[in-house]
Amino acid sequence: MTLLTRRAALAAGAAMLAAPSLARAQGAPIRLGTLTPLTGAGGPYGPVMANCVRAVIAEVNGAGGVLGRQLQLVSEDDQTNPEAGVRAARKLIDVDRVAAIMGTWASSVTTAVAPLCWESRTFLATVSGADSITALPHNGWLVRTQPNTTLQGRKFGEYALELGARRAFFMAPQTPFTQSQFTNMKAALERGGGAAELLVYDANKPSLRTEVDQALRFRPDIIVMGGYTPDTTVLLRDIFRAGYTGRKLAFAYSVNQQMLSALPNEVTEGIHTLAPSPAEDSGGYARVRRIVGNDNPDPYTCQIYDHVNLVVMAMAAGRDGTGQAIRDSIRRVSQGGGDRVDNAVDGLRIVAAGGKVDYDGASGPCDFTDAGDISDCRFRYEQVRAGRQTLLRIA
């Protein structure tokens, strides 16, 4: 029996030498999770985001994996709902034991999920923008690739002034980013001699006509809409029925092509939208275009592409497939100097050879502050014309 065992071991060793790629994949898989809105208000974005991560992981596995181990993806649906998000995060953390959760979209979901992550030492990468998220006591256990609402609010106020508006009425449901968005928009307007007012509405109401009538009493020359697609759809119908002909400004994620196809052109014509812009001239952006089969991938898919590439390279740099290694090493691969890369496969090759990498992503340079915010971002300015978004500029 001993002789047979020894012979079997020798044969197995010879087989490993003959098939080094097999040997590299013998460790237990490293599990990573996506927690995106496959349904609910974020439903148009979540499935594409999860599929993008799946494609990147397949590419990494095909090149030999990470630290001699294959990656395994577990995708869950947060339903754009904090309670559902917490249940899904609990499964990812307690049952699947993922090293990282990527792609939380709604700020309310991220706010609810973040404490579960840092308590369990699970790394969290998010596309949510509320200022309050990085003000949480996360101790480095999260980063986000979405600009915070301090920056976004200022951009909205400056853009309203650029459009010739002086009296802005901001209408939005209650979300973790509503007040910060309004406060920073108002400050920018007031610096330019303008004024702003806020109304928080119930996003579940079938009609918002009463709220629209209240807004019109302010005599706005621009109505700024801060909701998600379902409630913004209701709001736009009632604004049109009220006979308002002034300017309208909204988040690009809410005025998406699904909405534009569902509403008559006269209801949506002329809406201006604003969104963080992907780095359209980057190699990462070109890769995302190929992955999703779309010449204009949305910013959230570009951001989650960056999440998974950063997470994979951080594990390699930290020489461990854990959330702790990601937390400790993510800035070493995103802003530590070294060879510029836009994908994990190239980055892993450099790290394995003892080199350093500096990741530039599909969403732009992923340089994070101590709090976990990105330090800079370009914005995409568009206008709805004849039922479609038309790019005005990127700046």
Please give the mean pLDDT across all residues of the chain.
93
Tokens 């060879």 correspond to what residue? 339
Q: Is residue 6 part of a domain?
A: no
Strand partners, 361: 364
pLDDT at 15: 36
Query: pLDDT tens for residues 240-287?
Result: 999 999 999 999 999 999 999 999 999 999 999 999 999 999 999 999
Q: Is residue 201 part of a domain?
A: yes
pLDDT at 375: 84
Task: Specify whether 112 is located in the same domain as 88.
Answer: yes
Q: Is residue 14 part of a domain?
A: no
Task: Specify whether 174 is located in the same domain as 318.
Answer: no
Task: Specify whether 257 is located in the same domain as 387.
Answer: yes
CA-CA distance, 294 to 312, in Å (whole number)? Answer: 25
Higher-confidence residue of 47 and 14: namely 47
pLDDT of 23 strictly over 80: no
Let me know the angle formed at the C-alpha of 256 by 250 and 262, rounded to the nearest 5 degrees: 110
Task: Specify whether 242 is located in the same domain as 257.
Answer: yes
CA-CA distance, 63 to 392, in Å (whole number)? Answer: 40
Task: Specify whether 387 is located in the same domain as 250.
Answer: yes
Task: Specify whether 166 is located in the same domain as 237.
Answer: yes
Q: Is residue 53 part of a domain?
A: yes
Task: Specify whether 77 is located in the same domain as 64.
Answer: yes
Contact 356, 336 (CB under 8 A): yes
Contact 101, 122 (CB under 8 A): yes
Q: What is the DSSP letter of 336?
A: S
pLDDT at 27: 85
Per-residue confidence at 3, pLDDT binned at 50, 70, 90?
A: very low
* Tally of structural domains, the chain: 2
pLDDT at 240: 98
Residue 138 sits in a domain whose CATH number is 3.40.50.2300
Task: Specify whether 291 is located in the same domain as 249.
Answer: no
CA-CA distance, 126 to 146, in Å (whole number)? Answer: 8
Tell me the pTM. 0.87
Higher-confidence residue of 224 and 25: namely 224
pLDDT at 26: 59
Domain encompassing residue 34: 21-147+280-365
Q: φ and ψ at 339, to 5 degrees?
A: -75, 135
Contact 32, 91 (CB under 8 A): no
Single-letter code of the amino acid located at 234 = V
Task: Specify whether 91 is located in the same domain as 47.
Answer: yes
Query: pLDDT tens for residues 291-345?
Result: 999 999 999 999 999 999 999 999 999 999 999 999 999 999 999 789 999 999 9
Query: pLDDT tens for residues 197-230?
Result: 999 999 999 999 999 999 999 999 999 999 999 9
Task: Specify whether 233 is located in the same domain as 179.
Answer: yes
Task: Specify whether 225 is located in the same domain as 354.
Answer: no
Contact 246, 373 (CB under 8 A): no
Q: Is residue 253 part of a domain?
A: yes
Tokens of 306: 């960056």
Task: Specify whether 35 is located in the same domain as 85.
Answer: yes
- Residue 304: how many other CB atoms lie within 10 Å: 32
Report the pLDDT averaged over residues 14-23.
36
pLDDT at 8: 39
Report the pLDDT averaged over residues 154-158.
97
Closest CA to 177 of 244, 223, 109, 119: 109
CA-CA distance, 314 to 297, in Å (whole number)? Answer: 25
